Structure 1
Amino acid sequence: MSEADHSKRMSKTEISSVLREPRLVVKKFQSIAQREGVGAVVRRSIGRFELRHFDPFLLLDEFSVTAPGGVPDHPHRGFETVTYMLQGAMTHEDFAGHKGTIRTGDLQWMTAGRGIVHSEMPASQGTQKGLQLWINLSSKHKMVEPRYQELLSKDLAEVAKDGINVRIIAGEALGTKSAIYTRTPTMFLDFTLKPGAHLQQPIPSLWNSFIYVLEGEGVFSKPESSPTKAHYILLLGSGDGVEAWNQSSKLLRFILVGAEPIGEPVVQYGPFVMNTQEEIDQAIDDYEHCINGFENAKH
């Protein structure tokens, strides 16, 4: 056996041994467009009647908005929002004076904590597109002070190998880690696979995880599975990772998201997510009276 053949054989052995128990797809459905805010359209997958919550995930929207539409002032308490721009730009502004614009490929990771009132509005001509993910916070973190992490596209970790390109928003892939800090341990990976590419991505065995397809069509979990097209979400079962194949002639792009479940009761009233109804009632009262974290709401 030549050195080149030996190298190829070793490479295949190493790849095949990465995952001992690949995760299977246990649920799959298409996100359906609906109106949200003022003139915004979202394709909601997590947070609709088929899937109210997926611990610790509360909502996943693929949004599309054109000026003068947007999402005017609204409050949050008890969780984090992750906004990842796919096209265009959105400007965020809150009641504490924080303001910023994220553009194509940029990321904002906001910890609402005890209270934020903010707006999210288009910042350029044409249609702005992106993803927004809501991640729950444990009871011990729900009332922390608000915090922002914003990364420009050029500062996100990105790796390309064997026909696979991955932007590492949170967590680790292909030996590279993100700089984002997550209170709830989380991975958020943006994969693009060239035709013929095959991916094996480890996922901590106790985490919940899902895939959301953005472009093209892919085969997940087993090579004989039916292809999945854009705007579909796939919930993954137990195991130590996931496999994906691009068996088409076009690029495949999807996000892989996973996180450690919190395992606490979830009581949600619109933009407030707490553990009990009493805490929800308190959040509403705090917001209406501009107290306990909402002092600046009066302005």
Structure 2
Amino acid sequence: MNQTVISSLLPVILLIALGLVVGKRGWIRDTSVKDLANLVFLVLSPALLFHAMSTVKVEQLSLWPVASYFLGAGVIFGGTLLVMGFDRTSVVTAIANTYSNTAMIGIPLVGLAYGPAGMVTLLTLVSLHSLVLLTLATVAVELALAREQAASGQGTRRHIVAVVGRAVRNAVIHPVPIPIIVGLLWAQTGWQMPEVIDKPIQWLGQAFGPLALVMVGVTLAHTRVGTHFKGALLLAVVKNLLHPVLVFGIGRLLGLSGLPLTVMVVAAALPMGANVFLFSQRYKAAEDLITAAVAVSTGIGIATLSLIMLWMG
């Protein structure tokens, strides 16, 4: 196996495995997972994202690689609705097929494999990831619910403008895009961050990767796949393999190559993100299947990521 793939994936595997052991032995109980997740997402993640973008100039950013990711996701999202029909379950399945774990797994992995330049490309995607995909899914599922209610004679739901507005607000006012935007704005000022402030932010950001990966393992230890394995495996194959292949093809059509294309393909190959599970819970659609799919997608993600990274060279 390529040395870069080994050196990038092995630390990820070891930390997730450590989390599995910790979870299985009960050192971190199921009731404590939410508190640790809050620490990761509300404290460590913003510090890392701000620090990573605080030295990036706007001219370094490119939206073409990000466009290839979202176009690939759009093809799979629309295809899922065509195959399954338009209802809550199909929308939830569609977001499961397209929403990557760009934070907890993506940031540590891309940082190890592709360095600061790769991180700039990934964080450009991260800043828009939830905004685009969760807004799309929210609008679609609200339309599906309105259709269900109209068919059952229960009246109409909120106006679609209100639905879109709420979805956009929730996606923007979030601990992921805000520190990216603030860090980018800070970089444009040219000001130097005082070391007494910069150093603690840097330390917090450095703690994100290891703790986030351990948390992935702990979450897997408390997840039961049960009778949904076959359905979960199908969703995982679509997410982990079909999505990156589509992104690669679309990226080539857009004239992309080199590191930007590689990072987007690897981002598309990442396992399903935790927001997929939360989305299914919120709209009470296919909760058990999606829970199993997130676990299976993460479980086979090491193998599928290895294949994709080797393929991209």
TM-score range normalised by the length of the shorter chain: under 0.3
**Higher strand proportion (structure 1 or 2):** 1
Structure 2-normalised TM-score? Answer: 0.25
**Higher helix proportion (structure 1 or 2):** 2
For the pair shown, which has the larger CA radius of gyration, 1 or 2?
Answer: 1
Question: Higher RCO, 1 or 2 (CA under 8 Å, sep at least 6)?
Answer: 2
